[in-house]
Amino acid sequence: RSVFFGEDEDDASGATVEGEREISIEMIHLNDVLRILPFERVPADGVVVLGTSDVDESLLTGESRAVPKKLGSTVVGGSVNG
């Protein structure tokens, strides 16, 4: 899965997002691009394709500090976008 963070629809990478809609987790498919807004839970494992954020991965690591994510970073389903 691919994800991007925040509310901006484009950045320095030149990537853009169009045709956005809300879907249930059961409808997520390989190569879908998902927008993860602040304080939302990441619905599936994926790779950041646009934006940056800090993600709470305490469910995996026990660490209370959020982990910075940027283009190319992996994210884990169940973690929380900060």
Residue 61 sits at φ, ψ, to 5 deg, of -105, -20
How many Cα atoms occupy the beta-carbon half-sphere of 60 within 13 Å?
13
Cα–Cα distance list, 58 to 2, 8, 13 (Å)? 21, 26, 29
Per-residue pLDDT of the chain (82 residues; tens, 9 = 90+): 555 555 444 444 555 556 677 888 888 888 888 888 899 999 999 999 888 999 999 988 888 899 999 999 999 999 999 8
**Quick one: pLDDT at residue 26?**
86
Kindly report the pTM of this predicted structure: 0.75
Of the candidates 14, 82, 6, 3, the one whose C-alpha atom is nearest the C-alpha of residue 48 is: 3
Name the one residue in this structure whose structure tokens are 């940027």.
70
